Amino acid sequence: MKKTRDTKSILLRVLLYLFVILVVLVTLYPYFVMFTTAAKSRAEIYSTDGTLLPIHWLWQNFKDIWTLAPLSRYFINSLIVAGGSTLIAIVCGIPAAYALARMKFKGKKIFLGIVIISQMFAPVVLLVGIYKIMSTFGMTDSLVGLVFINAAFNQAFAIWLLRGTFISISPEMEQAATVDGCGKVSALIRILLPVAAPGIVTALIFVFINAWNEYTVALTLISTDTFKPLTVGINIFNGYNMIEWQYLFAASLYAIVPVVILFVGIEKNLVGGITYGGVKGRFLFFSKYNRGRCGREKGLPKAALCSCPITIQKAVFRQVFL
C-alpha cells in the first residue's frame, strides 16, 4: 500500500515538472524567436527558405540600432514617464487606500465603487476625451502630460491593491503604537508601511510596467520625435514598404531589460519575513517612551510595561519600539 502511494506521488511530481517545463517553453519561445530574428540579416529574414536559427549571426544589429535611431533618448523618455507616473500613483494611492481601509466617512462605498469601475475603462476608449483635455491644457506634446495620464489610469488599481494590503494588517498594531505615543501619521510611516511593503512593491511594479509598455495614448499625444517613449519610437523601423524586423526585435529586447532589472532588483530586496511569529492574545513588551522614537513625548516612565490585546509581529515591534 505504501509503495503504491510512493509511486503515485512520484508520478504526480513528474507530471507537475513536465507541465511547468511546458509552460516555461511556451512562455519563452516568442522571446527566443525575437532573439534569433534580431541576429539575422534582412535578406535571410525575407528568404522563402529561412531557418529558425540564423545562418550567420549578425551581432552588429544590436549595436547598429543605437546609431540608426535615437534609442537612448527614447529610453530616457520612457524612464521619465514610467518613473514619474509610478511615483505619483504610489504617493497618492497610499493615503487614499489607508482612508478606505481604516476610516469611516460618508460616501466611502460610492468612492470605492468609482475606483473599481474606473478600472474597466481602457485608455483607447477615452482617447478622444484625453486628447481634448490635454489639448486644452497645452500638454498634447509633452512628457508631463504622459506622466499624469499614466498615473491617472493606474491610480485605481494602486488604491485597490493597497487598500487590500492595509485591510489584511491588524489594526491592533496601530493601536499598540498609539499607546506608545505614535500619532496616526507616525504609526502609518513606522508601523504600517514596513509591514505593507510587499503590497506596495507589487503596486509599484504593476504601475511601472503598465506605464513603460503604454503605447496608444503616447502615439496619439506625442508628435515630436525627441519626446517619444521607447514603445512609440521604435516604430521608426516599421517602414512604409518594408519592416526592419531585425532592428525592431533588437530594440524590443532592449526594452524588456529595464523591467526585468526592476523586478529582480526589488524582488531580491523583499524580505519574505518582514514579520514573523504572530502571537495572538496579550503581548507584553517594553517600550521607551521618552526617547522620542514615535515623535511625541508623553512624560511617561522611560521603561513601561504595557499589556495590549494584539496580534503583532515580534520583529516589527523590536525594530520600531526597542
Map out the domains of the chain as residue ranges: 15-59, 70-269, 282-321
Query: How many residues are listed for the chain in this entry?
Result: 322
Mean pLDDT over 296-312 rounds to: 35
| Confidence at residue 268, expressed as pLDDT on a 0 to 100 scale | 58
Is the predicted pLDDT of residue 292 greater than 60, yes or no?
Answer: no
Is the predicted pLDDT of residue 24 greater than 50, yes or no?
Answer: yes
Domain 70-269: which CATH class? Answer: mainly alpha
| Confidence at residue 61, expressed as pLDDT on a 0 to 100 scale | 92
| Confidence at residue 1, expressed as pLDDT on a 0 to 100 scale | 57
Helices within the chain (DSSP H only): 2-38, 42-45, 61-68, 71-102, 108-118, 127-136, 143-168, 172-179, 184-187, 193-195, 197-213, 216-221, 230-233, 245-269, 314-321
Lowest model confidence (mean pLDDT) among 42-51, 83-92, 153-162: 42-51
Confidence of residue 284 (pLDDT cuts 50, 70, 90): very low
| Confidence at residue 3, expressed as pLDDT on a 0 to 100 scale | 65
Is the predicted pLDDT of residue 211 greater than 60, yes or no?
Answer: yes
Beta partners for residue 238, in sequence order: 243
pLDDT top residue among 91 and 307? 91
| Confidence at residue 17, expressed as pLDDT on a 0 to 100 scale | 94
pTM, to two decimals = 0.75
Mean pLDDT over 160-189 rounds to: 80
Average pLDDT of the chain is 78
Lowest model confidence (mean pLDDT) among 48-62, 66-80, 104-118, 303-317: 303-317
Compute the distance between CA of residue 194 and CA of residue 188 in angstroms, rounded to an integer: 9
Which of 52-84 are b and which e, b meaning 16 or more Cβ less than 10 Å from the residue's Cβ? eebeeebeebbeebeeebbbebbbebbebbbeb
Compute the distance between CA of residue 193 and CA of residue 200 in angstroms, rounded to an integer: 8
What angle, rounded to 10 degrees, do the helices at 245-269 and 2-38 form?
A: 130
Model pLDDT for residues 215-239, shown as the tens digit of each residue = 989 999 998 888 999 999 998 888 7
Mean pLDDT over 94-122 rounds to: 82
| Confidence at residue 2, expressed as pLDDT on a 0 to 100 scale | 60
Residue 83 near residue 90, CB atoms below 8 Å: no
Angle of CA points 108, 86, 153, to nearest 5°:
55
Confidence of residue 305 (pLDDT cuts 50, 70, 90): very low
